[in-house]
Homo-oligomer: A and B are copies of this chain.
Amino acid sequence: MARAGITKARLAAVGAELADELGFERVTLAEVARRCGVQTPSLYSHVSGTAELREQVTLLALEEMADRAAEAVAGLSGKAALTGLANSYRDYAWQHPGRFTASAAAATLTAETAAGSAGPRHARFTEAVLRGYAVDPGARVHAVRMLGSTVRGFITLEMSGSFDHSSPPADESWAQIIHGLDTLFRSWPAAPGAELPSPRAEDAR
């Protein structure tokens, strides 16, 4: 019988499809093996277990998102770049919900793994967009973090259906929020700095 031609990359691809179809949590060695026409234990020659399989899907998603982000901001600046970048993530999430979920699990990736290439790329694009605004370089990190937080937070909430039961469609809020970020970034930092953050409760890390 001919070999299936399994590769770590191929497993990631199959896992990614699986994630979009059934949800990231159902990306399972058994199901991937089934789709590859191979027995489950055979996969252990290519990945160390379920954890690594999912990790590969996460990396795949991060790369794809970075590719799209790159296209989305190419040649643009200011609000156009901001909108392009944000939309590229949102579009990706709707087209590949499972992969988007996977990308959110980037958390658990070891520093080196994540730093492979996708991690830095995302950071670079976001920074590039912010560089278009006259944000003080020292304060840019904060703006970068806010952009990332808001975009990821919105998409997550939207996809989880949180906006489905209140009246104005999410699209409207999305436009307003991007406009809000644009406005904010035009005169960042809003707070010159001195002001201390309200510290978290004592027992927290």
Binding site for B on A (CB under 8 A): 25, 83-84, 87, 90-91, 94-95, 104-108, 111, 115, 123, 139, 141-142, 145-146, 148-154, 156-157, 159-163, 165-168, 170-180, 182-184, 188-191, 193, 195-201, 203-205
- Give the CA-CA distance A8 to B46 in the complex, in Å: 43
Q: A111-B165, A204-B91 are in contact. Are A149 and B141 (CB under 8 A)?
A: no
Q: Is the interface of A mostly helix, strand, loop or mixed?
A: helix
A146 to B123, CA, bound (A): 22
Q: How far is the CA of A86 from the CA of B84 in the complex (A)?
A: 28
A83 to chain B: which residues have CB within 8 Å?
198
Residues of chain B contacted by A149 (CB below 8 angstroms): 149-151, 153-154, 156-157, 177
- Name A150's closest neighbour in chain B (CB-CB): B150
